[in-house]
Amino acid sequence: MNTERRRDGARQGAEAPASPAPERTSDCLFCKLYREGDHVAATDGFVVIRDINPQAPVHLLVIPEHHVDSFREISEFSADEDKRMLDFIAEVAAREGLTDYRVVVNVGPSAGQTVFHLHWHIKGGWA
Ligand code: AMP
Ligand code: ZN
């Protein structure tokens, strides 16, 4: 199994080179937004931006610094990162004043994933 971590947000191809160069993050939109986006909140290794095309009154995206293409590669995160990521999602939702909300991760194009850098949608604010 190819466990190479892609850093460019592109789809994995059979001919993918073995060692990703740092500059390959430059053509991943969310790697770029991690570095220079308009962040609503941030903590070590994670940032939050507002979705450019909101599907709810409040629609945030939680983006990890560590590039993985999708939730399928969640095992690349350590247990500590997993916990901090989930805690941060709950904290950001609370900070936005949300009590009821959805946390969504689209995994793969057929499920609606359009940006191939793991991200968590927080959608709420209906009531
Ligand atoms: P997904 O379809 O689950 O991969 O989610 C990608 C999300 O990123 C979509 O909801 C888009 O509206 C959002 N998006 C795309 N480009 C930007 C951007 N430049 N800034 C903020 N959100 C974006
Ligand atoms: Zn990326």
Q: If we measure between CA atoms, which residue out of 89, 65, 46 comes closest to residue 7?
A: 65
* Extents of the domains making up the chain: 22-124
Known catalytic residue: 39? Answer: no
Q: Tell me how many degrees the CA angle 3-34-99 measures, rounded to the nearest 5.
A: 100
Whole-number Cα distances in Å, 64 to 96, 110, 126? 19, 23, 26
Q: Is the pLDDT of residue 3 over 60?
A: no
Segment 73-78 mean pLDDT: 98
89-109, pLDDT tens digit by residue?
A: 999 999 999 999 999 999 999
Q: 22-124 is classed in which CATH architecture?
A: 2-Layer Sandwich (3.30)
Sheet of 41-43: strand order equals: 41-43, 46-50, 58-64, 120-124, 101-104
**Using one digit for the tens of pLDDT, what is the confidence trace for 11-58?**
444 444 443 433 346 789 999 999 999 999 999 999 999 999 999 999
The reported pTM is 0.85
Residues with beta carbon inside 6 Å of ligand 1? 29, 49, 51-53, 61, 106, 112-115
